[in-house]
């Protein structure tokens, strides 16, 4: 550990030296580890781009499915028909940071039945930024990467879109938005309704069959119903100033979650932000941004549709989490460079009680014992091009304070004081060197930290499952290296690898006494991916990829002798034939996964068989051209089949504890849907 601390100190001094050196810096086109799934082409950035017509061709019950399909290095944890989790290169859940328009989003379910991406509606999205590794100092706590969903802003004039999507198992999504206004004042308003019945896997097993505790009513329950409303107002008080108000509200009912012990009776999402930007304020301010936000999630699980031990059918939970935050950021540019620096803070409160569903009596008023989290951070980023070399560096410092306001009646014996204050740095250096205009090598080193969650430190489910207030923050010291080239102007090839040393990595632990809690261990992750795209001409192209990662423990939790880290996806490959010409586009893809055998059996994971799945998507976009009727312009028709051959398979293992289950038992494994046929019609103007 002493060696690690010395390395970290040396690394910080290196970054500080680079920041001082970069008084005059250049804006680089390179950002290490960044991928963007976008609805619009953003020239000049090295990003994987998927335009709006491709997004519409996906089934898109939730965003985790899009990311796991489009990114070879991404994986998914299937929880239900809705509200699934995404992983990047072996990092999942709280080891990733999720934001919408730069504002932090956290669900309020202790078992993550409501992962952050589940609170964002597809129709609001302009693009999705995926940053892998510790290379984003503008976001606190992004241990293995960050995912930022950027939503659509209002337009001048009159614009809008109507989208209707329907598919197997009574899946339906209807919605749209309208936007308009003058140069000085613009607005946007949207609505979407979505629902689905229970899907069946390739062997005909219904969603409810993956948990044996459903009663007769639960076996016939719909998978989910959801309403989403959103709006924005953009005011331009001057030519160089913008004032943007945004707000969204979502309400879902009866969300089935067979992976854990309870379903969700109701869930409410409130996302609000105000942002003020001034361009060209002074010679030392190219753009100044000031923003504030308030995000609130209300989550109400219940056991109405369950049977089984622990009085789960008689329980319901009220869990509410809200985050209030603000940020000030300035970009200073010279003729050849850009420097970005800022400060931010957020305050999060999270509380949850277990209640008798029939009488209203409180069974446990300290499930999440009124936890307050407060973070103050400051950061600086610099980017510069020096000949054929592009360089970027960043430095961040955080002070994080957390405290449970209620008694820790089960875990208080583990510490005399549950309040914790953590001070930690984050930093990175990335380089890219162009051997030729179409060939380069790139690499980087970064250090980042994430603090324990309220569940990991403070959950008070019962005498056999509770949090550890003495947990330390987790650190990721990572090295990345890659190469990319374009050959014969038709073949694009990119490969990259990484190694992450994880100190004080937070891991679940079952003690000899039978208590389930959390501990810190040292571990490491390594892996890489290769992607290729070959243009065949005449509108045809072939793309493929392979990704692999492996995680190993250096320390062992109590009663765990397995060296493998949990939740590490096995080797994954993808091969696709694409066609895109004259408004017609189609994709036929094969996705393969190896057996999941490098797993943590002592943590409850089980071997999973490998699988092969074939998917097909196609569509036609009417556009202005000779022979088209004018009223057809903007019309888009899409059709797809996922899992064409009705394969029975599962993509994710079981690992985490379940705070809704007495004793915190490990969650269940949920199979993927069988053959899923879907279509959509959209019209935009």
pLDDT for 666 equals: 82
The gap from C-alpha 10 to its chain's centroid, in whole angstroms, comes to 32
As a whole-number percent, the residues of the chain with pLDDT over 70 amount to 89
pLDDT for 8 equals: 42
pLDDT for 549 equals: 97
Burial environment of residue 226 by CB neighbours within 10 A (0 to 12, 13 to 18, 19 or more): buried
Indicate the number of domains in the chain: 1
Among the ranges given (44-48, 468-472, 657-661), the one the predictor scored with the smallest mean pLDDT: 44-48
Among the ranges given (46-55, 544-553, 576-585, 656-665), the one the predictor scored with the smallest mean pLDDT: 46-55
Is residue 349 scored above 60 in pLDDT?
yes
Where does the pLDDT of residue 63 fall: very low under 50, low under 70, confident under 90, or very high at 90 and above? confident
Asked whether the beta carbons of 264 and 114 are under 8 A apart, the reply is yes
pLDDT for 42 equals: 37
What value does the mean pLDDT of the chain take? 89
Instruction: Name the residue with higher pLDDT: 40 or 562.
Output: 562
pLDDT for 127 equals: 85
Which residues are within 8 A (CB) of 345 and not within 5 positions of it... i.e. 6 or more apart? 325, 326, 374, 375, 376, 377
**Which position has the token pair 């989910």?**
224
Instruction: Name the residue with higher pLDDT: 480 or 34.
Output: 480
Strand, helix or coil at 673?
coil
- Strands 584-593 and 611-621, how do they pair? antiparallel
The predicted-structure confidence for 583-619, as pLDDT tens digits, reads as follows 899 999 999 999 999 999 999 999 999 999 999 999 9
pLDDT for 656 equals: 87
pLDDT for 81 equals: 87
The predicted-structure confidence for 277-309, as pLDDT tens digits, reads as follows 999 998 889 999 999 999 999 999 999 999 976
If you count them, how many residues does the chain have? 685
Q: Of 293, 263, 279, which Cα lies nearest the Cα of 80?
A: 263
CA distances from 475 to 74, 334, 424 (A): 21, 35, 9
Is residue 48 scored above 90 in pLDDT?
no
Cα separation, 521 vs 523, in Å, equals 6
Strand, helix or coil at 29?
coil
Cα separation, 570 vs 479, in Å, equals 21
Asked whether the beta carbons of 142 and 97 are under 8 A apart, the reply is yes
The average pLDDT across 523-547 equals 96
pLDDT for 40 equals: 42
Query: What pTM was estimated for this model as a whole?
Result: 0.90
Identify how many contiguous H helices and E strands the chain contains and give both numbers.
5, 32
Is residue 238 scored above 90 in pLDDT?
yes
As a whole-number percent, the residues of the chain with pLDDT over 90 amount to 75
Q: Of 81, 73, 71, 77, which Cα lies nearest the Cα of 93?
A: 77
Q: Of 26, 46, 29, 3, which Cα lies nearest the Cα of 494?
A: 46
Structure tokens that stand for 679 in this block? 């279509």
Among the ranges given (333-342, 354-363, 580-589, 614-623), the one the predictor scored with the smallest mean pLDDT: 333-342
Cα separation, 286 vs 41, in Å, equals 24
Cα separation, 270 vs 416, in Å, equals 36
> Partners of 386 in the beta sheet?
389
E strands, 334-419, are: 338-356, 362-386, 389-404
Structure tokens that stand for 512 in this block? 């000899």
Is residue 164 scored above 90 in pLDDT?
yes
The predicted-structure confidence for 437-451, as pLDDT tens digits, reads as follows 999 999 999 999 999
DSSP 618-656: EEEE--S-TT--GGGTTEEEEEEEESTT----------S
The predicted-structure confidence for 174-183, as pLDDT tens digits, reads as follows 999 999 999 9
CA distances from 167 to 68, 173, 195, 495 (A): 20, 9, 11, 36
The average pLDDT across 342-352 equals 96
Neighbours of 384 (CB within 10 A): 21
E strands, 152-262, are: 157-167, 171-181, 185-196, 224-238, 241-255
Range of the domain at 160: 2-684
Asked whether the beta carbons of 249 and 229 are under 8 A apart, the reply is yes
Q: Find the CATH number of the domain harbouring 511.
A: 2.40.170.20
pLDDT for 39 equals: 42
Cα separation, 129 vs 135, in Å, equals 13
pLDDT for 414 equals: 63
Among the ranges given (40-44, 59-63, 188-192, 554-558), the one the predictor scored with the smallest mean pLDDT: 40-44
The predicted-structure confidence for 74-123, as pLDDT tens digits, reads as follows 999 998 888 899 999 999 999 999 999 999 999 999 989 999 999 999 88
pLDDT for 41 equals: 38
The average pLDDT across 356-374 equals 93
Cα separation, 390 vs 326, in Å, equals 31
Containing 14, the helix (H) or strand (E) segment is helix 2-21
Is residue 327 scored above 70 in pLDDT?
yes
Cα separation, 62 vs 224, in Å, equals 12
CA distances from 588 to 92, 276, 557, 646 (A): 28, 44, 44, 16
Is residue 629 scored above 80 in pLDDT?
no
The predicted-structure confidence for 399-410, as pLDDT tens digits, reads as follows 999 999 998 989
Is residue 12 scored above 50 in pLDDT?
no
Strand, helix or coil at 64?
helix
Asked whether the beta carbons of 652 and 210 are under 8 A apart, the reply is no
Angular region, 271: left φ>0, alpha ψ -120 to 50, beta rest = beta
């Amino acid at each position: 550990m002493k060696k690690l601390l010395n390395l970290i100190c040396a690394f910080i001094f290196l970054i500080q030296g680079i920041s001082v050196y970069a008084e005059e810096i250049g804006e680089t086109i390179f950002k290490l580890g960044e991928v963007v799934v976008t609805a619009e082409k953003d020239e000049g950035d090295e990003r994987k781009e998927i335009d709006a017509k491709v997004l519409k061709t996906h089934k898109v019950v939730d965003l985790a499915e899009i990311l796991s399909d489009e990114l070879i290095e991404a994986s998914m944890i299937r929880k239900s028909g809705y509200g699934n989790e995404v992983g990047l290169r072996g990092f999942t859940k709280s080891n990733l940071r999720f934001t919408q328009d730069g504002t932090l989003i956290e669900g309020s379910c202790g078992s993550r039945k409501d992962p952050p991406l589940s609170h964002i509606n597809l129709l609001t999205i302009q693009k999705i930024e995926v940053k892998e590794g510790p290379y984003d100092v503008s976001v606190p706590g992004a241990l293995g990467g960050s995912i930022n969903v950027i939503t659509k802003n209002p337009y001048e004039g009159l614009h809008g879109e109507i989208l209707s999507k329907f598919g197997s198992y009574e899946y339906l999504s209807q919605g749209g938005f309208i936007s308009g206004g003058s140069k000085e004042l613009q607005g946007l308003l949207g609505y979407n309704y979505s629902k689905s019945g229970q899907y069946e896997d390739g062997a005909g097993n219904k969603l409810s069959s993956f948990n044996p505790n459903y009663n007769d009513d639960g076996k016939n329950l719909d998978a989910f119903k959801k309403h989403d409303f959103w709006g924005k107002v953009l005011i331009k008080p001057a030519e160089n100033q913008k004032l943007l108000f945004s707000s969204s509200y979502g309400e879902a009912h009866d969300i089935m979650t067979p992976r854990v012990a309870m379903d969700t009776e109701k869930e409410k999402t409130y996302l609000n932000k105000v942002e003020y930007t001034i361009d060209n304020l002074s010679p030392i301010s190219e753009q100044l941004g000031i923003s504030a936000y308030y995000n609130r999630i209300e989550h109400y699980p219940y056991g109405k549709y369950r049977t089984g031990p622990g009085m789960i059918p008689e329980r319901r939970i009220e869990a509410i989490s809200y985050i209030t935050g603000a940020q000030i950021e300035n970009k200073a540019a010279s003729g050849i460079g850009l420097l970005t620096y800022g400060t931010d803070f957020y305050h999060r409160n999270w509380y949850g009680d277990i209640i008798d569903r029939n009488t209203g009596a409180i069974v446990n008023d300290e499930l999440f014992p009124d936890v307050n989290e407060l973070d103050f951070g400051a950061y600086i980023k610099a980017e510069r091009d020096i000949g054929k070399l592009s360089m970027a560096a960043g430095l961040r410092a955080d002070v994080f304070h957390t405290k449970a306001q209620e008694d820790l009646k089960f875990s208080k014996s583990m510490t005399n004081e549950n309040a914790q204050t953590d001070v930690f740095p984050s930093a990175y250096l990335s380089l890219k060197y162009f051997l030729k205009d179409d060939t380069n090598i790139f690499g980087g080193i970064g250090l980042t930290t994430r603090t324990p969650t309220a569940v990991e430190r403070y959950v008070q489910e019962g005498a056999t499952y509770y949090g550890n207030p003495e947990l330390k923050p987790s650190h990721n010291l990572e090295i990345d290296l890659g190469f990319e080239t374009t050959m014969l102007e038709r073949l694009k090839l990119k490969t990259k690898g990484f190694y992450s040393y994880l100190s004080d990595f937070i891991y679940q632990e079952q003690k000899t006494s039978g208590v389930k809690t959390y501990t810190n261990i040292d571990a490491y992750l390594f892996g890489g991916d290769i992607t290729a795209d070959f243009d065949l001409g005449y509108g045809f192209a072939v793309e493929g990829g392979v990704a692999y990662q492996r995680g190993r423990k250096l320390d062992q939790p109590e009663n765990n002798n397995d060296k493998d880290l949990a939740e590490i996806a096995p080797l994954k490959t993808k091969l696709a034939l694409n066609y895109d010409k004259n408004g017609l586009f189609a994709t036929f893809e094969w996705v393969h996964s190896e057996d999941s055998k490098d797993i943590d059996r002592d943590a409850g994971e089980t071997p999973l068989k490998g699988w092969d799945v074939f998917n097909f998507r196609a569509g036609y976009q009417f556009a202005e051209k000779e022979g088209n009727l004018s009223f057809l312009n903007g019309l888009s028709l899409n059709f797809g089949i996922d899992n064409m051959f009705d394969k029975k398979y599962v993509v994710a293992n079981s690992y985490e504890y379940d705070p809704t289950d007495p004793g915190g038992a490990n969650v269940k494994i949920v199979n993927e849907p069988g053959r899923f046929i879907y279509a959509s019609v959209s019209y935009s103007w």
